[in-house]
């Protein structure tokens, strides 16, 4: 496959289970080594970079596990500064973490332990940790999978804002095709480790491609100005 993620863009990776979405993210950020091919960012082949150098390029939010490790929200966000600081945070690291807490509306929860938060609050804290790395690329593996409807839309809206405002390339694995329709600038539909289609969500997610990749018939309806995918069951 050949996939590009562009600065300022929210790109969603779609496809059935086993299509290669999570594996692709892990190959991009170096957690897995591709069997062939390469990952290049700004002309640099990233496998040749150190862990610290990669951490300054890629911010990664894995699938939500619910674990907090006893850390507070502030400690969680501050841990994203590890590529820049030594054994203890510098004043500029603390300032960066505080700015992110305010940006994500988490300042009142700064000293709450992660495991005491709601799903949406915890996910924002994990996104904040990745933002603290000041990455050029933000990679998220199913950031909405454990969230209710309100928080799904809150998190997707936040990701779109972050990418557009800060010029960060955002790539997110999601399963909800309607979220892709509502928020994505670009969609990449994977099937058996290959790119089946890539482009605007409304051009990628056709009934024919949905049936080919997911094995279910679907129709595209409209609700006002929105396109809505309706499975035929």
What integer is the mean pLDDT of 9-31?
Answer: 91
90-94, 147-151, 161-165: least confident range: 147-151
Q: Where does the pLDDT of residue 68 fall: very low under 50, low under 70, confident under 90, or very high at 90 and above?
A: low
* Top CATH class, 10-68+137-231: alpha beta
- Per-residue burial over 28-61, b if 16 or more Cβ lie within 10 Å, else e, is bbbeeeeeeeebebeeeebeebeeeebbebbbbb
User: What Cα–Cα distance (Å) separates residue 93 from each residue in 61, 79, 109?
Assistant: 20, 10, 18
Are the CB atoms for 68 and 122 separated by under 8 Å?
yes
Which pTM value belongs to this model? 0.88
Comparing 50-54, 135-139, 188-192, which segment has the lowest mean pLDDT? 50-54
pLDDT attached to residue 35? 83
- Rounded to an integer, what distance in angstroms lies between the CA atom of residue 29 and that of residue 141? 12
What is the rounded CA–CA span in Å between residue 129 and residue 133?
Answer: 7
Instruction: Give counts: helices (H), strands (E), the chain.
Output: 9, 10
**Rounded CA gap, 81 and 90, in Å?**
10
């Amino acid at each position: 496959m050949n996939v590009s993620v562009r600065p300022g863009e929210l790109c969603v990776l779609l496809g059935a289970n086993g299509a290669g979405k999570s594996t692709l993210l892990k190959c991009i950020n170096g957690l897995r080594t591709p069997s062939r091919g390469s990952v290049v960012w700004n002309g640099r082949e990233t496998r040749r970079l150190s862990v610290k150098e990669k951490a300054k390029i890629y911010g990664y939010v894995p699938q939500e596990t619910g674990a907090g490790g006893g850390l507070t929200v502030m400690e969680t966000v501050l841990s994203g500064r590890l590529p820049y600081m030594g054994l203890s945070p510098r004043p500029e690291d603390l300032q960066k973490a505080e700015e992110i807490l305010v940006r994500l509306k988490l300042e009142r929860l700064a000293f709450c332990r992660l495991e005491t938060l709601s799903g949406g609050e915890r996910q924002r804290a994990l996104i904040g940790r990745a933002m603290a790395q000041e990455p050029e690329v933000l990679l998220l593996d199913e950031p909405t999978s454990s969230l209710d409807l309100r928080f799904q839309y809150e998190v997707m809206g936040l990701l779109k804002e972050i990418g557009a405002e800060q010029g960060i390339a955002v790539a997110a694995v999601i399963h909800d095709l309607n979220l892709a329709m509502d928020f994505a600038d670009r969609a990449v539909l994977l099937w058996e480790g290959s790119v089946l289609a890539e482009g605007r969500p409304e051009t990628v997610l056709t009934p024919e491609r949905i049936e080919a990749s997911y094995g279910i018939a679907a129709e595209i309806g409209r609700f006002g100005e929105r396109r809505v995918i309706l499975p035929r069951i």
